[in-house]
Amino acid sequence: MKRRNFITLLGGTAAWPLAARAQQAGRLPTIGFLGASTLGVEGHRNAVLVQRLRELGWIEGRSIAIEYRWAEGRNEHFAEIAAEFVRLKVDVIVTYGTAPTLAAKQATAVIPIVFAVSGDPVGTGLAASLARPGGNVTGLSGQQTDSATKRIELLREVVPGLRRLAVLANTASPLAVVELREVQTAAHTLGLQVNILEVQQAQDIAPAFNDLKGRVDALYVVGDPLVNTNRIPINILAVGAGLPTIYLLREYVEAGGLLSFGPNILDLYRRAAGLVDKILRGAKAADLPVEQPTKFDLIINLTTAKALGLTIPESFLARADEVIE
């Protein structure tokens, strides 16, 4: 073979679709799924991702393999799982949330990473820009920080005389810290006093509620894997303290929270499968723009409202995408 032809062929291997290269190695193309929380919390989202992959021609166990790992909301597990995926030489890593994605990005600059949701990918350093993320990471923005002001405004509508706002945040989470700053700025603009409850592990949550009753009027909970994993005890503590709560996601309200406003996560997971499909067929993560949500949901739990003695205006209920009774 002529040297020029050999070089051409060798250089061309870099452009092979990941799926083709995996099959050349005698194995199915493999996705490493880094679950930020637990199967119980994220299983329904996972099902949407897998179903969409199937629709795109990727059938688990037949044309693709998926390695699932669950971090149980513990930051120290993110890096361990990411390192394991690098050792397994998976073809794509799929993540949920900012901290797990940052851990994956730190573990590898080669394996493509798709985040199903990240609250502020540019602000937390995951992407250079939404249009051209660069590097090996792309995915879907949840616009978590951008919608913080809207959540406070919604809370004011259902909590008459709201003046003092407690904010619960996992300060070990990069995204939570960014959103916390947004919440503080928005609250001060609206003339609200802010009481910050800092947590970094599950054991910090209950003590954070000590002596809170009577000192604040409502609770804004900054979402992240730690908080999501512990959403039921948080809601129990909040109702016990007589505090209306607002969150980013529907599942918090299903677990007893009062309100949520944020992107439709199942829709984002479905769209994340489309990005995985493109990467497996040869696209580079750096060339795939970070997509933004097109569906936002306002959810309210009337059972919780009644337990707190709140009367929700009919006009507010009419605007809700879902009312849980």
Position 37 scores a pLDDT of 87
Average the pLDDT over 83-110 and give the result. Answer: 95
Q: Model pTM?
A: 0.80
Of the candidate CATH numbers 3.40.640.10, 3.40.50.261, 3.40.309.10, 3.40.50.2300, the domain formed by 148-263+297-324 belongs to 3.40.50.2300
Closest by CA position to 124, among listed 148, 100, 108: 100
Position 5 scores a pLDDT of 40
User: Could you read off the pLDDT of 22-71 as tens digits, one per residue?
Assistant: 555 568 999 999 998 888 888 899 999 999 999 999 999 999 999 999 99
Of the candidate CATH numbers 3.40.190.10, 3.40.50.2300, 3.40.50.1000, 3.40.50.620, the domain formed by 3-142+264-295 belongs to 3.40.50.2300
- For Cα atoms 233, 239, 241, give the angle at the middle one, nearest 5 degrees: 105
Strands 259-263 and 296-301: antiparallel
Question: What residues contact 8, with CB distance under 8 A and at least 6 apart?
Answer: none
Instruction: State which amino acid sits at residue 217.
Output: D
Which SS3 state, helix, strand or coil, does residue 130 take?
A: coil
Which SS3 state, helix, strand or coil, does residue 55 take?
A: helix
Instruction: State which amino acid sits at residue 218.
Output: A
C-beta of residue 36 within 8 angstroms of C-beta of residue 42? yes
What is the residue extent of each domain of the chain? 3-142+264-295, 148-263+297-324
Position 6 scores a pLDDT of 36
In what order do the strands lie in the sheet containing 137-141? Answer: 65-70, 30-35, 92-95, 113-118, 137-141
User: Could you read off the pLDDT of 236-285 as tens digits, one per residue?
Assistant: 999 999 999 999 999 999 999 999 999 999 999 999 999 999 999 999 99
- Residue 25 backbone dihedrals phi, psi, to 5 degrees: -80, 0
pLDDT beyond 60 at 9? no
pLDDT beyond 60 at 8? no
The span from the CA of 265 to the CA of 247, in Å, is 13
- The reply to whether 3-142+264-295 and 148-263+297-324 are identical in fold is yes
Token pair of 249 as six digits: 């996601």
Token pair of 103 as six digits: 């851990």
C-beta of residue 216 within 8 angstroms of C-beta of residue 240? no
User: Could you read off the pLDDT of 148-207 as tens digits, one per residue?
Assistant: 999 999 999 999 899 999 999 999 888 889 899 999 999 999 999 999 999 999 999 999
C-beta of residue 31 within 8 angstroms of C-beta of residue 92? yes
- Residue 33 backbone dihedrals phi, psi, to 5 degrees: -100, 115
